[in-house]
Amino acid sequence: MFNPLKRVINAGYKSFSRNIGLSLATVFIMILVLLLLSFVFLLRPGSETLIESFEERIDISVYFQEYVGEEDVLSIKEEIKKNPDVKEIEYTSKEKALERFEERHKDNPVIIESLKEIGYNPFVHSLNIKAQEIDKYEEIAEFLKASPFATLIDDIDFYERRLVIETVAALSENVRKTFLIFIIILGLIGFLVGFNTIKMGIYSLMKEIKVMKLVGASNWFIRGPFLVQGVIVGGISAIVSLLLTFLLTYGFDTRVQFFIPEISIFNLFVNNFWSLVLLQFGIGIGLGVFSSIVAISKYLNV
Amino acid sequence: MISLNQVSKIYPSRQKSGPSTIALDNVSFTVGRKEFVSLVGKSGAGKTTLLKLIIAEEKPTRGKIFFDNKDISKLKGFQVPHLRRKMGVVFQDYRLFPKKTTYENIAYILEIMGKKDEEIAWEVSQVLEVVGLENRAYNFPDELSGGEKQRVAIARALIHRPEVILADEPTGNLDPYNMFEIIKLLVKIYEMGTTVVLATHDKQLINILKKRVITLQEGKVIRDEQRGRFIL
Q: Of A161, A192, A226, at which residue does a domain stop?
A: A161
Rounded to whole angstroms, how far apart are CA atoms A37 and A107?
Answer: 52
Cβ-based interface (< 8 Å): residues of A facing B: 3-4, 7, 14-15, 18-19, 207-208, 211-219, 221, 302
Those of residues 79-98 in B touching chain A at CB distance below 8 A are 81-85, 87, 89, 95, 97-98
Domain-located, residue A257: yes
Q: Which residue of B has its CA nearest to A222?
A: B112
Q: Say if residue A145 is in the same domain as residue A104.
A: yes
Q: Of A126, A161, A196, at which residue does a domain stop?
A: A161
Task: Give the count of domains, chain A.
Answer: 2
Question: What pLDDT score was predicted for residue A244?
Answer: 94
Q: Say if residue A275 is in the same domain as residue A188.
A: yes
Residue among A139, A134, A189 at smallest CA distance from A164:
A134
Helices (H), B159-196: 176-191
Residues in chain A with pLDDT values less than 70: 1-2
Question: What pLDDT score was predicted for residue B168?
Answer: 93
Question: What pLDDT score was predicted for residue A1?
Answer: 46
Higher pLDDT, B9 or B210: B9
Question: What pLDDT score was predicted for residue A141?
Answer: 87
- Give the pLDDT confidence of B139-183 residue by residue, as tens digits: 999 999 999 999 999 999 989 999 999 999 998 888 888 888 889
Domain-located, residue A146: yes
User: Using the beta-carbon criterion (under 8 Å), do A217 and B57 form an inter-chain contact?
Assistant: no
| Residue A230, C-beta contacts closer than 8 angstroms, at least 6 positions apart | A198, A285, A288, A289, A291, A292
Q: Say if residue A279 is in the same domain as residue A186.
A: yes
Chain B residues with CB under 8 Å of A212 CB are 97, 108
Q: Say if residue A141 is in the same domain as residue A177.
A: no
Say if CB A83 and CB A147 are below 8 A apart: no
Q: Say if residue A105 is in the same domain as residue A30.
A: no
Residue among B229, B131, B119, B228 at smallest CA distance from B186:
B131
Best to test chain A binding among B58, B80, B156, B163 (most A CBs inside 10 Å): B80
Q: Say if residue A191 is in the same domain as residue A286.
A: yes
Question: What pLDDT score was predicted for residue B232?
Answer: 64
Domains of chain B: 33-59+81-225 (3.40.50.300)
B164-168 and B195-200 as β-strands: parallel, antiparallel, unpaired?
parallel
Measure CB to CB from residue B84 to each of A215, A219, A221 and give the nearest one: A215
Measure CB to CB from residue A214 to each of B84, B100, B116 and give the nearest one: B84
Domain-located, residue A302: no
- Give the pLDDT confidence of B13-58 residue by residue, as tens digits: 888 778 888 999 999 999 999 999 999 998 888 999 999 999 999 9
Q: Say if residue A26 is in the same domain as residue A102.
A: no
- Give the pLDDT confidence of A13-27 residue by residue, as tens digits: 999 999 899 899 999
| Residue B13, C-beta contacts closer than 8 angstroms, at least 6 positions apart | B19, B20, B21
CA within 13 Å, CB half, A149 = 20
| Residue B147, C-beta contacts closer than 8 angstroms, at least 6 positions apart | B174, B175, B177, B178, B181, B182
User: Using the beta-carbon criterion (under 8 Å), do B57 and A214 form an inter-chain contact?
Assistant: yes
Q: How many CB atoms within 10 Å of residue B143?
A: 12
User: Using the beta-carbon criterion (under 8 Å), do B109 and A216 form an inter-chain contact?
Assistant: yes
Residue A65 lies in domain: 59-161
Say if CB A78 and CB A127 are below 8 A apart: no
Whether B201 has a pLDDT exceeding 90, the answer reads: no
Q: Say if residue A32 is in the same domain as residue A181.
A: yes
Rounded to whole angstroms, how far apart are CA atoms A63 and B186?
Answer: 105
Q: For residue A124, what is the domain's CATH number?
A: 3.30.70.3040
Query: In the structure, what pLDDT confidence band is assigned to residue B134 with cuts at 50, 70 and 90?
Result: very high
Whether B127 has a pLDDT exceeding 50, the answer reads: yes
Domain-located, residue A22: yes
Best to test chain A binding among B67, B92, B99 (most A CBs inside 10 Å): B99
Q: Say if residue A69 is in the same domain as residue A33.
A: no
Best to test chain B binding among A214, A219, A229 (most B CBs inside 10 Å): A214
Domain-located, residue A219: yes
Rounded to whole angstroms, how far apart are CA atoms B26 and B8?
Answer: 5
Q: Say if residue A74 is in the same domain as residue A133.
A: yes
Q: Say if residue A268 is in the same domain as residue A292.
A: yes
Q: Of A161, A193, A211, at which residue does a domain stop?
A: A161
Smallest CA–CA separation between B136 and chain A, in Å?
19
To the nearest 10 degrees (0 to 180), the angle between helices A273-297 and A219-259 is 140
Smallest CA–CA separation between A222 and chain B, in Å?
9
The secondary element (H helix, E strand) that includes residue B212 is strand B212-217
Q: How far is CA A226 from CA A220, A231, A235, A237, in A?
A: 10, 9, 14, 16
Q: Say if residue A48 is in the same domain as residue A178.
A: yes
